[in-house]
Structure 1
Amino acid sequence: MNWDVQNAIVAFVDSLRPNAQMYHDMYMSALYGFVDMQSHLLTMLGYPPVP
């Protein structure tokens, strides 16, 4: 394994760590928005809503 590459990857991951909660929240809100939109679309097309 090329240690320089591994060290660069570790440094990159460490640089993201302070913002991990923000990235998690952005991901979850985008995921929820996508699922919510699909749910509305399917309901509009005549599928019964799932509680």
Structure 2
Amino acid sequence: MYNWSVQDAIVAFVESMKPNWPAQHDLYMSVLYAFVDMQSHLLTLLGYPPVP
């Protein structure tokens, strides 16, 4: 019923990513900020008032 080798591979992958978590978090936040900034500019171009 369970495929333990796949589960072990997932656990090993997550464990290997742990040292890079601060960099991953910074990348996620910068991409998220860029996306929100782009959407804000798009909505302003479409005539919606900017949010302070």
- 1:16 CA drift (Å): 0.6
Residue 32 of structure 1: aligned partner: 33
TM-score, scaled to structure 1: 0.87
TM-score, scaled to structure 2: 0.85
Residue 3 of structure 1: aligned partner: 4
How many positions carry a matched residue from both structures?
Answer: 51
* Root mean square deviation, CA, Å: 1.0
Distance of 1:31 and 1:22 partners within structure 2: 14
Residue 42 of structure 2: aligned partner: 41
- 1:45 CA drift (Å): 1.9
- 1:28 CA drift (Å): 0.9
Dislocated runs of 4+, deviation >3 Å: none
Q: Which has the higher contact order (CA 8 A, sep 6+)?
A: 1
Residue 20 of structure 2: aligned partner: 19
Structure 1: stretches of 5+ with no match in the other structure:
none
Identity of aligned residues (%): 73
